[in-house]
Amino acid sequence: MERSGPPQAQDKGKGKPPWRSEGLPGTPGGKPKINWWRFVVTLLVVYAAFFVVSSFVDNESVETISYTEFTKQVNAKNVKEIYAQGLSVEGDLRSAANNPESGESYDKFATEIPAFANTDQLDQQLANGQVEITSQPITRGFFSNLLLSLLPVLLLAGLWIWIMRRGASMMGGGGLGGLGKSKAAKPVEAGQVRVTFDDVAGIDEVENELVEIVDYLKDPGKYRRLGAKLPKGVLLAGPPGTGKTLLARAVAGEAKVPYFSASASEFIEMIVGVGASRVRDLFEEARKVAPSIVFIDEIDAIGRARGGAGGVGGHDEREQTLNQILTEMDGFSGAEGVIVIGATNRPEILDPALLRPGRFDRTVQVGLPDAAGRTAILVVHTRGVPLDAEVGLDQLAKTTPGMTGADLANLVNEAALLAAKRGKEKVTMADFTDALEKLQLGAARSIVMPEEERTRTAYHEAGHALLGMLQPGADPVRKISIIPRGRALGVTLSTPDTDRYAYDEQYLRGRITGALGGMAAEQVIFGVITTGAENDLEQVTMIARGMVGRWGMSEKVGPLTILSNDGQPPQASPATLATVDEEARRIVDECYDRAVRILTDNRDKLEAIVAALLEHETLDEADAYAAAGLPRSVAADETPEFPASANGQAIPGGEPAGFPKN
């Protein structure tokens, strides 16, 4: 659908906010604010305290004694070692002694040698007393105390800075004093390339809805003169991968305004109040550079409808965060010049207060692209891919109904990977075909099947394919294969020539009949039913129950919605539910009888397809119709009786893909 722009400039350091930003003016930012004066004063005070304490502790254990007491301990051979610097002596005793002057016991001492003392005699006494004279001081000096007292202060300062940055990262910035406070967003580099509408394709109708906002942001005066106000919010609703996020970035890029983006789940924390604080910070930053755009992805994570029993913990946090968003969008604070764009694939569960005018003023549906849209998307994603001349993007788009822009981007990438792996200079149509099979049907498995199992699989797939070929209005069969892929032992791929948007009863019956083709073929040929039809029956049951319980296609039940589409328990009596089951069984039985009858009447064509499959293992569209002896447009101009196909979906070994919902 669209080609992603370059990576957003983000703060790789610690303490980044829970949102990304684009197009901010080059204002300083990116680091938590620190009061450096307070930090330096605190550092000096702590250092002085450590120095005084360490000096006190070091000196209080050293006893100052007289020279007479010192010579007495030397003569008693109680002095273990000494260190002398000039006439100052420090040392250790072998065993503690009492100081006659102070009466205190000591084992470390300091003394001064008188200038008139006989040093030669003292030296002899020290030698006789086996006193060790060392070259290092026994106790630390001033500078040693200075260094050792400074070390814990440095450790404390490093710990403080780490906690501040850690707190900014885990709780939104601001350190310990600002729980939940987020720092200013980091400016984007000047050369940052912005995403524009040129990078968006396939959803022109949605793009037109947003052009008005771009025009308002570029020239607000034109609208203000007429009393028009800037929309507060736009909700983009649609399936995943349809380009909601890139659309929001394109709006900001076209209008050349700052852009902030965040996932709703990033605001939620276990600590109640952190999410609301982050929301306040986000809107505060957006208002500073208004006009600006705030994009909140998966907004249903915090915008779910409130009500029910009161909750604690994460539930309280979610509601507080939602309340803060409601206030910021249209409350006392106001958010002039800030447009909020939200994205969700579940708009039905959002709180009504979030969807009222003044908050999300409009809801834009971002749906799946049609064939022309898929062609435009493929053009965007193949800009940098060398394509072979035989590659037709129009034809490729027709074989990919139901794919989103993200799916198509993945398809192009897979095809390029296959071409590179095969040593090609350009990507060919065969690479795209193989990549599409890999994505839709699964990677091929290298397993050796017994010949009996291989033959049974061929009949199963031929039954699917032949019913698709013979039923009027059916989707063309594109490929049949008995090569195991994913969980399936074989695959049959049918896709329509044009997109379908509504399905009538005859078409749905045809879907059921086609899905039962594999099971019916096994019954006709072998007289048994195997487990290969398990997923066929799951799909058949889902369609039949939907016809009766959701779409009013049963006269006995009538136009009622009995079965919910969101997994909720059915709101009906047991008798009504029993009637739904009976009607669903009747529809399936009728379709199965029809499938058996068609295959029995055309057994020769079934055998021909099986023979070709056993020989080649894979048949493309032309080979499949040639093997059956049928023209490609056998039912093109006939009025459909029970049109059957998989509507662009695969029927891999009895595994029809999910049926699109109305």
**Could you say which of 63, 461, 522, 655 is catalytic?**
461
Place of tokens 């300062």: 157
Q: Alpha-carbon distance 469 to 474, whole Å?
A: 7
Tell me which residue of 17, 26, 22 sits closest to 260, measured CA to CA: 22
Written as six digits, the tokens of 361 are 């003023």
Is 285 noted as a catalytic residue in this protein?
no
- With left for phi above 0 and alpha for psi between -120 and 50, is residue 486 left, alpha or beta? left
- Widest Cα–Cα separation across the chain: 136
Q: Alpha-carbon distance 250 to 248, whole Å?
A: 5
Q: What sign has the CA pseudo-torsion 386, 391, 393, 397?
A: negative
Answer whether the bond into residue 386 is a cis peptide, omega within 30°: no
Q: What sign has the CA pseudo-torsion 24, 30, 35, 40?
A: negative
User: In which element (H, E) is residue 353 found?
Assistant: helix 352-355
3-class SS of residue 331? coil
According to DSSP, residue 586 is labeled: H
Chain centroid to CA 501: how far?
Answer: 30
Beta strand 88-98 pairing with 259-263? unpaired
| Contact predicate 470/602, CB 8 Å | yes
Q: Alpha-carbon distance 567 to 160, whole Å?
A: 52
Q: What CA–CA distances, in Å, run from 437 to 160, 454, 476, 607, 621?
A: 57, 20, 16, 25, 14
Chain centroid to CA 553: how far?
Answer: 40
CB atoms within 10 A of CB 184: 20
Q: Alpha-carbon distance 527 to 192, whole Å?
A: 67
Written as six digits, the tokens of 495 are 């896709």
Instruction: Report how far apart the first and last C-alpha atoms of the chain are (Å, whole number).
Output: 22
| Contact predicate 500/645, CB 8 Å | no
| Contact predicate 280/40, CB 8 Å | no
Tell me which residue of 220, 357, 234, 340 sits closest to 292, measured CA to CA: 340
Q: What CA–CA distances, in Å, run from 218 to 158, 246, 293, 404, 649?
A: 48, 19, 13, 31, 44
Written as six digits, the tokens of 426 are 């350009």
Place of tokens 């394709």: 201
Active site residues: 461
